[in-house]
Each structure stands twice: as C-alpha cells, then as structure tokens.
A and B are shown apart, each in its own frame.
Chain A
Amino acid sequence: GENVEQHPSTLSVQEGDSAVIKCTYSDSASNYFPWYKQELGKGPQLIIDIRSNVGEKKDQRIAVTLNKTAKHFSLHITETQPEDSAVYFCAVSSGNTGKLIFGQGTTLQVKP
C-alpha cells in the first residue's frame, strides 16, 4: 500500500523566514496531494493542494511543488508569521476513492 514519509518532524524558524516541509510517497498512481494545517484543538484545515498534472501551485505566501518522477512534494511558506505556528500534514490520494494517506506531521514554530 501507499507509504508517505514527512520531514522534518519539527521546524523552528524566525518570523519572516521561509519554511519548507517535504513529503515522499511510494505509489506512482497517486494523483492528488493536499496539505493541511492543524491548530491545537481543531480539525485539519486544507490550505493548498496540487494534482498530478501540475508541477507547482501558489497561493499568496504558500506554495506547493510536485516532482512526480522522484515521488516527492513540498510545502513552502514564505514570510512566516507567528500565526503560521501549527502542525502541518501532507496527504496523498490515488484514483477516485477519496481516501487520504497522511504523513506523520510537522510541528512548525515561528518565533517572533
């Protein structure tokens, strides 16, 4: 079955710096790659996603890149702010089942 590895597990940056979180996956049939942000006591919030026919997608300070050949994708957050502090999860889906396989999560701390 699909296996998703996420790194790093924790990340601490200064406000204004960039943060990058990387995920690798094993199933070459995977075609949908969302990223979720989870704040304490809340459910995961979809922040950006990318599909297999696109290499990069950007939404203001957040971007995601996908390398299908190498089977990895990354979340980039620029100009980080303290409110970006949260746990971030990557996920992978294949076909039209709608089922998501999640990475282990990255705890991002943005220091003011």
Chain B
Amino acid sequence: SAVISQKPSRDICQRGTSLTIQCQVDSQVTMMFWYRQQPGQSLTLIATANQGSEATYESGFVIDKFPISRPNLTFSTLTVSNMSPEDSSIYLCSVEDGGSMNTEAFFGQGTRLTVV
C-alpha cells in the first residue's frame, strides 16, 4: 500500500491565521482527498484534489476557506484559512492506490489542529 506522510502532525494556531498542511505519497496515485474529523466525530470529505486543476469541493466547503493544491501525482496541500476555534479538528489526507475503479483508500496519520 502507498505510504502517506503528512506535515505537520499537529499545530496550535492563533485565530485569524492560516495553516498549510502537506501530504506526500511515496508513489504516484490517481486520486487524493482531504477529510476533516472534528473532535470525537466521524470523517467528512472536504474535497477531491485534482492534479493540475482546481479541487472539487463537497457541500459546505469552499475554496476560499480551504484552498487546495495538487501540482503532481504524489503531493498535495490543504490550507485552512482565517482560522477560528471551530476549525480545530484532525485533517486527513487520503489516497486511492492502484488507479482503477474502487481500489483501496489509505489515510495519512493526520494533522491535529488546535485554534486558540
């Protein structure tokens, strides 16, 4: 399975600032995703990171708040902009390995963000 590295693993940030989270995969993957996991909750998809084009956002998530980049098939970033305490969550990068329909999805270790 693909090995996924996320940076930073955790951070404490001041409200009003922005944080960029990096996701690096050890092999080329077709699909990359960003999820949010609020404290004690399940995972919610933020967006699909598309290589070379704008990300596709799910309902309730917008590009101005969560800009995403994916310059190549092994790397993506998620920025959490103008943060408020409600943004305190674990942010997870996920990849689909194999390139064909409905292959397994793997997750990074996550970035635990606390906004104060």
Contact = CB atoms under 8 A, between A and B. Distances in A.
Do the two shown chains form a genuine complex with each other? yes
Contact of B92 (A44, A95, A96): A44
A102 B31 CA distance: 18
Report the contact-size class of chain A (Cβ under 8 Å from the partner). 20 to 34
Contacts of A93: 102, 105
Contact of A98 (B1, B4, B48): B48
Interface string B93-107: 010100001101111
Interface residues of B, number: 25
Interface of B: 1, 4, 30-31, 33, 41-45, 48, 58, 92, 94, 96, 101-102, 104-110, 112
* Interface residues of B, dominant DSSP: strand
A90 B92 CA distance: 16
Contacts of A104: 41-42
A61 interface: no
B31 A98 contact: yes
Given A44-B43, A89-B42, A96 B110 contact: no
A100 B109 CA distance: 17
Contacts, number: 57
Contacts of A42: 109-110
A44 B109 CA distance: 8
A3 B73 CA distance: 30
Contact of A44 (B30, B48, B96, B107): B107
A99 B44 CA distance: 10
Given A31-B102, A51-B102, A98-B96, A43 B107 contact: yes
Of all A-B residue pairs in the complex, the 9 with the closest CB atoms, nearest first, are: A96-B101, A43-B107, A98-B31, A32-B102, A98-B96, A102-B42, A102-B43, A43-B109, A43-B110
B42 A103 contact: yes
A31 B30 CA distance: 19
Contacts of A31: 102
Contacts of B45: 99-101
Nearest to B92: A43
Contacts of B105: 34, 46, 93, 98, 100
Interface in A47-103: 49, 51, 89, 93, 95-103
